Structure 1
Amino acid sequence: MKTGIIGGTGFYDPGLLENEKELMIATPFGDIQLKSGYYHDQQILFLPRHGEQHSVPPHLVNYRANIWALREAGAGVVLATAAVGSLNLEMQPGEIVLVDQFLDFTKSRPVTFYEGGEDGVLHVDVTNPYCTSVCRHLKETAEGLQIAVHDKGTYVCTEGPRYETAGEIQMFQMLGGDLVGMTSVPEVVLAREAGLCYATLALVTNYAAGISPHPLSHQEVVEVMGRSQAVLRRLIFAAIESLSEERSCTCAGAAAELGSLGMKKNQTTD
C-alpha cells in the first residue's frame, strides 16, 4: 500500500525520498502531477496542495482532482499537513495538532464526487472524519520520538483567501473550535468518499485574529512552518515507516452502499 502526503502552506517538497520521479495522473476533474519516490522501500506519493510556488489559493484548489489522483495512483493512506491559526491558548505556535473534528464554514467548493445521475448520491458518514486508526498511530509514533503533539483538535475551515475577523474567531471559539484554516474541507470529506485513511497534521503558525498581538500575515505562516518542517517531516516519515499494511478502520468502506457506481466505476488502477 502506497502512502500519500499532501503538503500544505510552506511544505512544498517531501524531502527524504529516493528515486524520485514525476507522475501525471489523469482524472475526470483535470490532470494532476504527483511526485513519486521511496523511503526505506516504501513508495510515497507527494502532492503540494497549493502548487510548488503556492500559486493556487485555498478556495480554488482542485480538491476532487487531487484526491482522485492519489487514489488512482494507489494511495491507501493520506497524511496531510496544514498551517493553522490557533483559537486555543493551549495550542501554541510551533506545536502539532492531530485534528479529529471539523466545523465547515466554506461556501463555494465542490464537496462530493457523487452528484447524482449515473454516479449516484452518497450521504457519507463523517462522525469521525479523520481516520482514528492512523491518528492513533501518529500519536504513538510521536510519543516514541518524544515529539509533543495534541491528539485532538477541532479545525474550523473557512473559505478564504482572506483571514478571519476577530468577531468570527470569537464565534468559532463559542462553537468549540480550536484551530482555523482554509483547506481541510472538502479534502477530508472527499478522502472519506474515496475510501482513503486520511489524517491531518496541523502545525500552529500563529494565534488567530483578535488573539494575535499583531496583524496576521502569510509571511509569518511561511516562516513558522519553515522552522518547524524538520520535526513535522521526522514524524511523518517515522509514522510511514512503521505503518501497518492492515487497515482495521472503516474508512475503506465509506462508499460501499453505492456498489459499483461513482469512483469505482471509473477507477483504472489500485
Structure 2
Amino acid sequence: MTLAIIGGTGLTQIPDLLITGEQSLDTPFGAPSAAYVFGELDGRKLVFLARHGNPHRIPPHKINYRANIWGLQALGVTEIIAVAAVGGIGREMAPAVIAIPDQLIDYSYGREHTYFADDLEQVTHIDFSEPYSPALRARIVAAAEQAGIATVNHGIYGCTQGPRLETPAEIKRMANDGCDLVGMTGMPEAALARELGIAYANVSVVANWAAGVVAGEITMAEIEKNLHQGMNQAIMLLTAVAQA
C-alpha cells in the first residue's frame, strides 16, 4: 500500500522526511496545489502534498481538490492521511489537541465536489456512511497509543467555506448540529478520495477555540502558538504511523 500525507496550514513540509524526488502533474482537472514530494519517513516510503501550496498561498475555497486527489491516485496512492488545522467547538477539543474525527458535516458551497459530473454512462452514488476509513483510523489510533501521544479518537468535523473565520452564531448552529470541530478543507477532499477508492482519514490539530466558545477575539498569534505545539505532536504521530 502506498501512503500519502496531505499537509494543511502549519504543515507545508515534514522536517524528518528524507526527500527522494518531486513530480509535478497535469491532470484532467487542472493543476494540483503543488508538486508531489516523494520521500521516506522512518524508512516508510510515502508521498507528501502541501494542500495550500508551498509556500502557503491557496485559500481553502480555491484549492483544486479534484486535481490533488486525482494526482495521488495516478501516483499509485491507496491511503491518505489528511492533516488539518481546525477550531475547537466541543469541550474536549481544546487548543493544541489532536483529534481523529469519525464523522463530518459539509457546510461548504460552490466547490467542484465530485468526479461524477460530466459524460457519464450512468448516475453514480457513493456510500458515505463512514466518511473516514475505519481501518486507517484504527491504525492511526493504535499508533498514537503505542507512541504515548494523546489524541481524541472521535468527533464530528464541520467543513465551512472560508477563508474568513466563523461568527459565534454560526458556531452555535454548528454545535447544535453536533459538530465538535470546525475546519475549511475537509470537504470535498474526503468524498473525492472515496469516489476513487482511496482510504482516507483525517488528523485534526486544534489551533484555537472557535468563535464564541470562549470570550475574546481569535488572534493569529494564538493560532500560530497552538499550531506549533500541535503540529509537532502531529508529526510525531505520522512518524508512529509510518513505523507501524
- Whether TM-score is above 0.5 comes out as yes
Query: Corresponding residue for 1:167?
Result: 169
Instruction: Choose which of 57, 61, 64 in structure 1 pairs with 2:63.
Output: 61
Q: Which of residues 31, 36, 40 in structure 1 aligns to 2:38?
A: 36
Residue of structure 2 equivalent to 1:26: 26
Q: 1:47 to 1:180 in 2, by over 3 A?
A: same
More displaced stretch, 216-225 vs 84-93? 216-225
Change (3 A) 1:73 1:222: farther
Contact 2:92-2:152 within 8 A present in 1 as well: no
- Aligned-partner SS, 1:192: helix
- Following TM superposition, by how much is the alpha carbon of 1:89 offset from its aligned partner in structure 2, in angstroms? 1.7
Structure 1 residues 165 and 133: CA distance shift in structure 2, 3 A: same
Alignment RMSD (CA, Å) = 1.4
The residue aligned with 2:12 is: 12
Give per-residue Cα distances to partners, 1:226-269, cap 9 Å, x unaligned: 22222111111211221xxxxxxxxxxxxxxxxxxxxxxxxxxx
> Do 1:25 and 1:72's aligned partners in 2 also have CA atoms closer than 8 Å?
no
Q: Quick one: which of 178, 181, 185 aligns to 1:179?
A: 181
Query: Aligned with 2:116: secondary structure?
Result: coil
Identical amino acids, percent of aligned pairs: 37
Distance in 1, Cα, partners of 2:185 & 2:239: 22
**Unmatched tracts of structure 1, length 5 or more:** 243-270
1:24 is displaced (CA, Å) by 1.1
What is the identity, as a one-letter code, of the residue corresponding to 2:184?
Answer: M
CA contact (8 A) 1:10 1:226 kept: yes
Query: What TM-score results when the alignment is normalised by the length of structure 2?
Result: 0.94
Q: Is the 8 A contact 1:11 1:225 kept in 2?
A: no
Asked if the contact 1:206–1:212 (Cα under 8 Å) also holds between the matched residues in 2, the reply is no
Matching residue of 1:239: 241
| Conservation of the 8 A alpha-carbon contact between 2:206 and 2:230 | no
Instruction: Give 3-state SS (helix, strand or coil) of 1:149's partner.
Output: coil
- TM-score, normalised to structure 1, is 0.86
The verdict on how the C-alpha distance between 1:194 and 1:94 changes in structure 2, with shifts beyond 3 A counting, is same
Aligned to 1:99: 101
Counterpart secondary structure, 1:150: coil
Contact 2:7-2:50 at 8 Å conserved across structures: yes
Task: Answer whether contact 2:100 2:203 (CA < 8 A) is retained.
Answer: yes
Shift of 1:39: 2.6
Q: 1:148-227, aligned counterparts within 5 Å?
A: 148-227=150-229
Q: 1:112, 1:190 within 8 Å by CA — same for their partners in 2?
A: yes
In structure 2, what is the equivalent of residue 52 of structure 1? 54
Q: Deviations over 1:105-127 (max 9, x none)?
A: 01110110111424643211110
- Give the residue type in structure 1 aligned to 2:151: V
CA contact (8 A) 2:87 2:206 kept: yes
Q: Give ranges in structure 2 of 5+ residues lacking alignment.
A: none
- Quick check: 36-45 or 197-206, which moved more? 36-45
2-structure distance, mates of 1:119, 1:150? 42
- Render the CA deviation track for 1:154-180: whole Å, top value 9, x for unaligned: 001001111111111111111101000
